[in-house]
Structure 1
Amino acid sequence: MNNEEELNQRKDKLRKEILDHRSEIDPASKADYDSWVCNQLYDLVQEWDYQVIHTYIPMGDEIDVLPLIDKLINDGRIIIAPKTLRDRQMEHLVLQSTKKLEKGVYGTSYPANSIEYIGQIDLIITPGLAYDYKGNRLGYGGGYYDAFLTEQHSAHTVGLAYPSQRIKYIPIGNHDIPVNEVISKRDL
């Protein structure tokens, strides 16, 4: 087994553990925590006056950012969300309403009837399964966001995490791109 295969096995094992922990969060605690994270993120957007924000559309038991997205749209911010394609490609679409989403590949959702955004992005909210204290991110294994973040040098990047998603060390490879900061707290 080579180093790359060993790294992928370690990451896959960690992904399973994190997904198991995340699925065990009770709905009331999840809703309260998600609201807290969204409030922290809204404060960050306000403080730095970010105008163009790229965000994931939550799937499964990811932190629900939809209420925050609605608030930011109402504030007049430009919200961009990805349409995941095959082969580590994404289209970046303007999101005008969280009520108008279509289902995409791998269980993702994306803005329906939208135009592609080509321009500078101020803030990127990344999905992730785990983050270490250096900002290293464990994604879902497709490499989509690592490829995207490589192209986005000027954007501030932030990950959102439940306490069980903050770990001391994430095994990383040459292609893994860290985030600038993670919004999380010690307890639910």
Structure 2
Amino acid sequence: MTTDPGQLRKATLQARDRLSQDEMAVASEAICDKILKLPEIINSQTIFAYVSFRSEVATYKLIESLLAAGKTVAVPITRVAEKRLDAVKITSISDDLEPGYCKIPEPTDTLCRTNTIVPDTIGVILLPGSVFDKRGGRFGYGGGYYDRFVSNIPDAFRIGLAYDLQIVEKIPLQPHDELLDYVVTPSAVYKGNRK
């Protein structure tokens, strides 16, 4: 296993991209079931969730379940010029999203003007990533957007969603890499060492 962050990220994403649609669907459903049972999710009113894209762990059903449970769900809008994410409240996946940055589904311009929420109100953040480890280490995709986002909301609970093949023993974290509280895979819930 390589310790070069770029190589590790690339190799893991290539392996993730090789999963079949069925494998991704079954794994994503198992992860979703685990997440909905976490006390942090049950006890939190406002949840920030990434909108899945390509081979990421699917979040559409998870977001729909959270909305059906009466949760306030916010999703990211990427502010490329400012290199940051904003949180925008949605009430419907089918009505509120359109292709945005890198064609990732993002909230519509209208929603961004009216529904941006204050980050401090977020109780739980659900994060994508390329590689994770069992202590809550996470590599994203190299842009640093999520690291900057979560570092500004230290009290929010952080949960990474990953297929089992994305878990390694220990990733070579950089000082700016933020630790997670949990990493949830189809087969396990790893409790991170953040606190």
Structure-2-length-normalised TM-score: 0.86
**Matched residue, 1:177:** 178
The one-letter code of the counterpart of 2:69 is: D
SS at match of 1:39: helix
CA–CA distance in 2 between the matches of 1:155 and 1:37? Answer: 20
Instruction: Report what 2:137 is aligned to.
Output: 136
Q: Distance in 2 between matches of 1:15 and 1:71?
A: 30
- Matched ranges for 1:35-54 at <5 A: 35-44=29-38, 48-54=42-48
Q: Normalising by structure 1, what TM-score?
A: 0.89
Paired position in structure 2 for 1:5: none
Following TM superposition, by how much is the alpha carbon of 1:186 offset from its aligned partner in structure 2, in angstroms? Answer: 4.7
| 1:64-112 superposed Cα distances (whole Å, 9 cap, x missing partner) | 1111111111111000101011142112100111102111112322122
Count of residue pairs brought into register by the alignment:
179
AA in 1 matched with 2:100: G
Of 90, 94, 103 in structure 2, the residue corresponding to residue 95 of structure 1 is 90
Q: Quick one: distance in 2 between partners of 1:26 and 1:97?
A: 27
Farther off after superposition, 91-100 or 108-117: 108-117
Deviations 1:139-159 (A, max 9, x none): 000000110111111111000
Report the Cα distance in structure 2 between the residues aligned to 1:123 and 1:37, rounded to whole angstroms: 16
Equivalent in the alignment of 2:168: 167
CA RMSD of aligned residues (A): 1.8
Q: Does 1:153 align with 2:149?
A: no
Aligned residue in 2 for 1:116 = 116
Percentage of pairs with the same residue? 28
**SS of residue in 2 equivalent to 1:99:** helix
Q: What letter corresponds to residue 99 of structure 2 in structure 1?
A: K
Structure 1 runs (4+) deviating above 3 angstroms are: 45-48
> What secondary structure sits across from 2:160 in the alignment?
strand
* Alignment correspondent of 1:66: 60
Q: Distance in 1 between matches of 2:92 and 2:172?
A: 37
Q: State the distance in 2 between where 1:88 and 1:99 align.
A: 27
**Is the Cα–Cα contact under 8 Å of residues 84 and 108 in structure 1 kept in the other structure?**
no
Give the 3 Å change call, closer, same or farther, for CA 66–131 of structure 1 in structure 2. Answer: same
Q: In the alignment, residue 169 of structure 1 is paired with which amino acid?
A: K
Q: Secondary structure at the match of 2:37?
A: helix
How far apart are 1:174 and its partner, in Å? 1.0
Unmatched tracts of structure 1, length 5 or more: 1-8
Question: Could you tell me how far apart the structure 2 residues matched to 1:47 and 1:121 are?
Answer: 11
For residues 166 and 32 of structure 1, the distance between their equivalents in structure 2, rounded to whole angstroms, comes to 18
- Quote the Cα distance in structure 2 between the aligned partners of 1:48 and 1:29: 27
Mapping of 1:6-21 within 5 angstroms?
A: 10-21=4-15
Structure 1 residue 10 displacement after superposition = 2.1
Unaligned runs of 5+ in 2: 189-195
